[in-house]
Amino acid sequence: MKAYKELSKAELETLRTQLQKQYEDAKGKGLQLNMSRGKPSVAQLDMTMGIMDVIDSKSVLKSESGDDCRNYGVMEGLAEARKLMGDIMGVPEDQVIVCGNASLSIMYDTVSRAMTHGILGNTPWDRLDTVKFLCPVPGYDRHFAITEHFGIEMINVPMHQDGPDMDMIEKLVSADDSIKGIWCVPKYSNPQGVVYSDKTVERFAALKPAAKDFRIFWDNAYIVHHLYEEKQIEIPDILSACVKYGNEDMVYEFCSTSKISFAGAGIAAVASSEANLSEMKKSMTIQTIGYDKLNQLRHVKYFKNLDGIKDQMKKHAEILRPKFEAVINELDKELSGLGIGSWMKPYGGYFISFDAMEGCAKNIVAKCKEAGVVLTGAGATYPYKKDPWDSNIRIAPSFPTPEDMAAATEIFVLCVKLASVEKLLEEAA
């Protein structure tokens, strides 16, 4: 197949007519498909139902150290839950606090606390004229929503195959002390599935930020979320890497079991230096008497250890893989060589990122919608929901069946083609 850009105007017009015909047919089918929901499928949730039985009314609901998990207290989380989450992140349990069901809340609270109380004695961010965060793009909309909510200025940093543009990051953070943070999903990034290279992690650890209270928000949301057993990519532990460079306080690392156990009823954790954790605990002890320890116990009893987590992730992968492949195969088959889009095959995580021709993403999303296929809004993967190139689209394959994903992707590629032809004809006009 010839690249669209090499087609003559007449060829493009013929193509448009064909595609429009196909599109009208597709619309006629009255499909109702959804590629926007980055949440586990019913099959994945069903697979984990055993977790509901590991504790019941006959159980002794005590932690290993004898804490009554039903009562108040143990704010930093059960020791065994801290160990489990620490093992997932590859950090010692005393560097871990286990909280409630959402790592997003820990991130929000961490930014909120920096706003009102500052970090380790530095000026609270809300007393500064300008606070900026670096945002590798495309990225996770809910990260950007937090910084936007607190009026933090966001600066786009392009993502490459091995992580964000480190030259740009090094230059910016060393020159500007109003840059206080960066959002990172270092493994199987949302939405591209990029895994930061060892070199990238090393360069993060070695940053020399102008701001003493610059923090890396290291959201290791997909740390064990591999799709292929033979292709499990591991990255260095950022916390110990930072210690080597005298940057031990520079990172807050987050993870959760939302996509390991239940999306709505998992447990979440933060790992950081002793100084950072000690500061967090000062606020947490005002905010709560303790998180839900019964759910922590439930997770520890069900998964037991890191091997239990790994077994679980293999089962998730078996359910997820065909859905990812349904999308990737259709993209490969229908769009390869046309020069109207690019995509990466992810080896883990929850998303596929598609870059359309500049100026086409909104049109594609709108066309899909009209044909009964819901996509995440174009621009969602950028701060302020503004994709400067109107190009990136996030595809979430996890929730529908593989068959539905294939059907939805058929509509998607058709809309990509049609929107691209329309764009090229517009440019030719």
Handedness of CA 271, 276, 277, 281 (dihedral sign): negative
Distances (CA, A) of 384 to 137, 140, 147, 156, 313: 12, 12, 10, 10, 33
Note whether 388 binds a copy of itself by CB under 8 A.
no
Strand 251-256 to 215-219 pairing: parallel
**From CA 300, how far away is CA 267, in angstroms rounded?**
10
Min. distance of Cβ 142 from a copy of itself in angstroms?
A: 8
Three-state DSSP class for residue 164: strand
Sheet containing strand 132-137, strands side by side: 96-98, 268-271, 251-256, 215-219, 179-184, 132-137, 153-160, 163-164
**Token output for 311:** 């077994």
| Pick 14 or 71: Cβ nearer a copy of itself | 71
Note whether 3 binds a copy of itself by CB under 8 A.
no
Note whether 146 binds a copy of itself by CB under 8 A.
yes
Burial class (CB in 10 A: 0-12, 13-18, 19+), 316: buried
Contact residue for a copy of itself among 4, 196, 214, 262 (CB under 8 A): 262
Question: Do 419 and 4 form a contact (C-beta atoms < 8 A)?
Answer: no
Note whether 288 binds a copy of itself by CB under 8 A.
yes
| Pick 114 or 134: Cβ nearer a copy of itself | 114
Note whether 277 binds a copy of itself by CB under 8 A.
no
Note whether 70 binds a copy of itself by CB under 8 A.
yes
Sketch the per residue contact string, 324 through 363, with a copy of itself: x for CB under 8 A, - otherwise. ----------------------------------------
Note whether 303 binds a copy of itself by CB under 8 A.
no
Min. distance of Cβ 412 from a copy of itself in angstroms?
A: 23
Helices of type H across 238-292: 238-244, 274-287
**From CA 67, how far away is CA 404, in angstroms rounded?**
47
Question: Do 125 and 114 form a contact (C-beta atoms < 8 A)?
Answer: yes
Min. distance of Cβ 63 from a copy of itself in angstroms?
A: 11
| Pick 78 or 227: Cβ nearer a copy of itself | 78
Note whether 150 binds a copy of itself by CB under 8 A.
yes
Sketch the per residue contact string, 32 through 61, with a copy of itself: x for CB under 8 A, - otherwise. -------xx-x--x--xxxxxx-xxx-x-x
**Token output for 238:** 């950022």
Note whether 366 binds a copy of itself by CB under 8 A.
no
114 phi and psi angles, rounded to 5 deg: -65, -35
Please give the residues from 107 up to 126 whose contact with a copy of itself meets the rule CB under 8 A: 108-109, 112, 115-117, 124, 126
Note whether 190 binds a copy of itself by CB under 8 A.
no
List of residues contacting a copy of itself (CB under 8 A)? 39-40, 42, 45, 48-53, 55-57, 59, 61, 68-74, 100-102, 104-105, 108-109, 112, 115-117, 124, 126-127, 142, 145-146, 149-150, 258, 262-265, 283, 286-295
